[in-house]
Amino acid sequence: MKDWRRLTSLSVVILIATALLYTLLHSQSIQTGYLKIGDKGPDFTSTTMDGTSIKLSDYRGKGVLLNFWASWCEPCVDEMPRINKAYHLNTSGVEIIAVNVGDSRATARDFITSQGINFPIWLDPSGEAADSYRVTGLPSTFLIDKNGRLVKAVAGEFPDELSVIQLLKSVQH
């Protein structure tokens, strides 16, 4: 009976050790997939509201505030006027680009028209661009320097336009 208990205890220890090792290895592989500050921001091709194809790398040499959003996302809806106001107050020369994730061109157009948004809006109907930045929630914003390197990532909405302006200033050249 004593041997049976030892065998059972040893089996439990081995099972727990295997589970811990799997978890550790699995979590490390997931973590290495995330973008890190200083990494080169992934380039992607998108479409502007007027149907023109455009690449993020077209903005190399300038700082970029890259915002991923959707019209059904309440925090996105709340922050868009703040970003728009910062766009009009922006004297830093940093580009603001908002990438709509998942909406149709008509839905995005209706939204930006009703909200009076007039900074560049790009379309990402399939979510490929958002996936390349490992976006897991909206809104998500990335600051990219003139060399195309990630300077900062912000999850969630901006509380006011001054927060946006401060971020823009952090990537001016």
Res. 2: pLDDT tops 80: no
The pLDDT tens digits of the residues spanning 10-42 come to 665 564 544 444 444 433 323 335 789 999 999
Mean pLDDT, range 134-144, rounded to an integer? 95
> pLDDT-derived band of residue 155, with 50, 70 and 90 as boundaries?
very high
Residue 102 lies in a domain: yes
Is 11 in the same domain as 96? no
pLDDT for the residue numbered 171: 87
Specify the number of domains making up the chain. Answer: 2
Residue 53 lies in a domain: yes
The answer, yes or no, to whether the previous bond of 75 is cis (omega within 30 of 0) is no
pTM above 0.95, yes or no: no
CA 146 to chain centre: 18
Longest CA–CA separation in the chain, Å: 80
Is 57 in the same domain as 15? no
Best CA proximity match to 45, nearest among 57, 36, 31: 57
Is 97 in the same domain as 159? yes
pLDDT for the residue numbered 93: 80
> pLDDT-derived band of residue 7, with 50, 70 and 90 as boundaries?
low
Is 123 in the same domain as 149? yes
Query: Angle CA(128)–CA(133)–CA(139) in degrees, nearest 5?
Result: 90
The pLDDT tens digits of the residues spanning 36-87 come to 999 999 999 999 999 999 999 999 999 999 999 999 999 999 999 999 999 9
Is 68 in the same domain as 112? yes
Domain span including residue 23: 1-32
Is 86 in the same domain as 23? no
Q: Residue 43: left (phi > 0), alpha (psi -120 to 50), or beta?
A: beta
Is 114 in the same domain as 137? yes
pLDDT for the residue numbered 80: 97
Is 100 in the same domain as 162? yes
Residue 37 lies in a domain: no
pLDDT for the residue numbered 3: 72
Res. 103: pLDDT tops 70: yes
Is 25 in the same domain as 53? no
Residue 92 lies in a domain: yes
Mean pLDDT, range 100-122, rounded to an integer? 96
Residue 40 lies in a domain: no
The CATH number of whichever domain residue 121 belongs to comes to: 3.40.30.10
pLDDT for the residue numbered 10: 60
> pLDDT-derived band of residue 111, with 50, 70 and 90 as boundaries?
very high
Residue 39 lies in a domain: no
Helix (H, G, I), strand (E, B) or coil at 157: coil
